[in-house]
Structure 1
Amino acid sequence: MAGDTYSFGEYELDMARYQLRRAGEPVHVEPRALDLLHYLIEHRDRVVSKNELLDRIWGDRFVSEAALTTGLRTARLAIGDTMRQQRLIRTVHRRGYQFAAPVTVARSGQATGSRRGPGDRTGATAAGLSGADQQIVRFCRADDGTRIAYATVGSGPPLLKAANWMTHLDLEWTTPVWSHWLNGLARNRQLVRYDERGCGLSDWEVPSFSFDDWVDDLETVVEALGLDRFPLLGVSQGGAVAVAYAVRRPERVSRLILAGAYARGRQVRARNQAERDEAALDLDLARVGWAHQDPSFLGVFAAQFLPEGTPEELEEFTGFQRRTTSPANAVRFLEEFAKIDVSAIAHRVQCPTLILHSRDDVRVPLSQASELATLIPDSQLVLLDSRNHLLTAAEPAWAEFLSQIDTFLVA
């Protein structure tokens, strides 16, 4: 029932709060995956077919079986299960799926506030938002005519996320690469984000493709939304874009959050010939790997972002790469990333700044976070216990990441 709490192993699924917990601590999970988990647990006495899950969880909205596969993968990851182990969610060949673990049910009384059951797609919940069908996607045009897609989701004070590569405003909701980011960041606020020129729903064929264009595109989105003053989040190379914009428009950026960010790209920060050669080789490999969509290269590339990712997460990441941009644009992005340099202007950031970085980040070394913290006057550096460049929903660092942001924005 809607208000029941289901306990299995060290997990609790509390439907009164619409929350999954592990050992008493909240586990952030995409709402559709939570609905899938709830439905399978409710009907654990039988095998549930794919068609039934698609009908009850997505309702009248047409989606492919790929959406169901992604949702089940996300649910499994959230409860420590995998396709290979299937200790909790079992695949029954040609029939469907069944929740296989013992479950204890605690009944609850009538609760207050918003409630959702399987198939209910509207409204916000305490645990997050219902996903892509809740966001509003619009388009604006940069000065050179490039069409930029931007989206808003959630309600409350705004948080603007500067674009970074490998995003897609629509597909992000159904991939474990980004779905938990969107739901976590949109809790109790309006999350604004956009796709960079060259990827996602924005134009892929563009007249110009430079760092200054990226900063201009951020400003274009701000103007289209009519935002006055707001906190700004920059992830990975989006951090440098956010720094540049905060310097350009100090009257608009109230607070700055940098996650996995850097001031100088790999070519710029190379200290000797060996590091310059290594940076050049990295680009050469990228040109060949992306041009031919070489699976071995894309797998290695994915592992740089998610070294602690499961095989399923790495497979999803690789597939997501292919759908977000063209091979030619992927190379253009990587070439521009290597040349980024905001080290000469970072000291001009005037707002309080929170720098979050995985302690053992494989893609962007910790030295880059330390450099940003040294350059930006009113900044604080928080190190997270992870090796991942993009944090996953299941790792403890993710909850810490969200907690740090929440505390910083209300301080």
Structure 2
Amino acid sequence: MRDQAIGFLSHGDSRVAYAVTGSGPLLLLDLALAHHLEAFWRYPGYRHLVQRLARRFTVVRWDRPGFGLSDRHTVDLSPDGELALVERLVDVLAADEVAIVAAGAAAPNLLRFASRHPDRVSRLGLFGTAAAGRHLVPRLSAGALHALAGVPAPAIHEVAAAAAAAGSEMVELLARTAEADATADAGGVAAPVLVLHRAGDPVVEPGWGRALAARIPNATFHLLEGASHLPYAGDPDPLLTALHSFLVGEDDEPARLSRRELEVAHLVTLGLTNAEIGRRLAIRRRTVDAHLEHIRSKLGVTSRARIAAWLVRDQLASSAQDGA
């Protein structure tokens, strides 16, 4: 399902690796500075997040020079170097404006790009970040280290190995990250912006995200439940639901299920298995599986519990309209 197609583009005298997943409007997704396309893709949580976004967008991710599949020479990790790299990506891959989602230490430089190229950015989603890089690379507390180490293998282990393989570039990256500062650029962002933060983030305090949103003219701050700093760790559904609603626009039509899909969803709320649903509706289990996949896709959810919750909300909304 929705694999990644890897390509390379020239940037200065280096080659930069990038990956494309899905179809639709272009979405630049930058979730980690020390990124490795192949190592990250092997982690189910990360892959799931990308594939969910790829249902509506052409999702583009990349490895910075010095990391992952990109060349190791001529590495410029400075804020201006980062800005030049994003400019190159957009010039080569985008014919029109793009949407952007960035997390953590990757966000300030994407915010700078949005401010300096207002005609190229349609919407900007930011997660677990702050305006200044110095707030994103503090000395990690014992709690922060425990939270990161608690992510199911092989996420942290593979990512750490990929970053360590970059050698001295990783040391420079941390130093350069602290230099990035989008404070002065925040007020110049013209696109709608959604700033998301998990309430228990142990690495970047939510207050920094709230302060960032306050600096951006057309920004909304949304606090999510949870304590995972990584966007693809913990429960990703609330994050993806908020992102989806924001990226497609408020005028996007609500999900509509067919009569049969509603029947399947109702039986899911009763706790029936796929086999039991098939027997109740006199259809094959494979048909039930297909209906559930369509339901998940339409609703933008991954679990049976989320399907049940949606159905309850939908029924309550219908009752309220009938009683009005």
TM-score (normalizing by structure 2): 0.70
Distance in structure 2 (CA, Å) of the matches to 1:157 and 1:341: 29
Q: Residue 237 of structure 2 aligns with which residue?
A: 399
The Cα of 1:149 is off from its aligned counterpart by 1.1
Distance 1:308-1:140 versus aligned 2 partners, 3 A rule = closer
Q: Can you list the C-alpha shifts for 1:331-366, whole angstroms capped at 9, x where unaligned? A: 111111122211011100001001111112111111
The answer on whether the counterparts of 1:357 and 1:366 sit within 8 Å (CA) in structure 2 is yes
The Cα of 1:154 is off from its aligned counterpart by 0.7
Counterpart amino acid of 2:218?
D
Q: Residue 104 of structure 2 aligns with which residue?
A: 236
Q: Can you list the C-alpha shifts for 1:192-240, whole angstroms capped at 9, x where unaligned? A: 1111222111122324321111111011111111331121111112211
Distance in structure 1 (CA, Å) of the matches to 2:45 and 2:176: 23
Distance in structure 1 (CA, Å) of the matches to 2:241 and 2:19: 24
1:165 to 22, 27, 33: 33
Q: Residue 9 of structure 2 aligns with which residue?
A: 140
Q: Within the alignment, does 1:318 sit opposite 2:157 as a pair? A: yes
Distance 1:371-1:228 versus aligned 2 partners, 3 A rule = same
Identity percentage of aligned residues: 30
Counterpart amino acid of 2:79?
F
2:49 to 181, 186, 189: 181
The Cα of 1:180 is off from its aligned counterpart by 2.1
Distance in structure 1 (CA, Å) of the matches to 2:60 and 2:18: 7
SS at match of 2:83: helix
The structure with more helix, counted as a fraction of residues = 2
SS at match of 1:149: strand
Counterpart amino acid of 1:211?
P
Distance in structure 1 (CA, Å) of the matches to 2:25 and 2:127: 20
Q: Residue 209 of structure 1 aligns with which residue?
A: 77
Counterpart amino acid of 1:368?
W
The answer on whether the counterparts of 1:309 and 1:392 sit within 8 Å (CA) in structure 2 is no
1:410 to 248, 257, 260: 248
Give the superposed CA RMSD: 2.5
Distance 1:153-1:301 versus aligned 2 partners, 3 A rule = farther
Q: Residue 286 of structure 2 aligns with which residue?
A: none
What is the count of residue pairs matched by the alignment? 248
The answer on whether the counterparts of 2:2 and 2:21 sit within 8 Å (CA) in structure 1 is no
The answer on whether the counterparts of 1:163 and 1:196 sit within 8 Å (CA) in structure 2 is no
- 4+ runs deviating over 6 angstroms: 300-303
SS at match of 2:227: coil
Q: Within the alignment, does 1:353 sit opposite 2:221 as a pair? A: no
Distance in structure 1 (CA, Å) of the matches to 2:240 and 2:151: 25
The answer on whether the counterparts of 1:302 and 1:317 sit within 8 Å (CA) in structure 2 is no
Distance 1:321-1:303 versus aligned 2 partners, 3 A rule = farther
Q: Unpaired runs of 5+ in structure 2?
A: 250-324
SS at match of 2:119: coil
Distance in structure 1 (CA, Å) of the matches to 2:232 and 2:44: 8
2:124 to 256, 278, 288: 256
Distance in structure 1 (CA, Å) of the matches to 2:208 and 2:68: 27
The Cα of 1:309 is off from its aligned counterpart by 6.0
SS at match of 2:158: helix
The answer on whether the counterparts of 2:213 and 2:221 sit within 8 Å (CA) in structure 1 is yes
Distance 1:404-1:312 versus aligned 2 partners, 3 A rule = closer
The Cα of 1:368 is off from its aligned counterpart by 1.4
The answer to which of 383-392 and 246-255 deviates more is 383-392
SS at match of 1:377: coil
The Cα of 1:177 is off from its aligned counterpart by 5.4
Distance in structure 1 (CA, Å) of the matches to 2:218 and 2:56: 26
> What does residue range 212-231 of structure 1 map to in structure 2 within 5 Å?
212-231=80-99
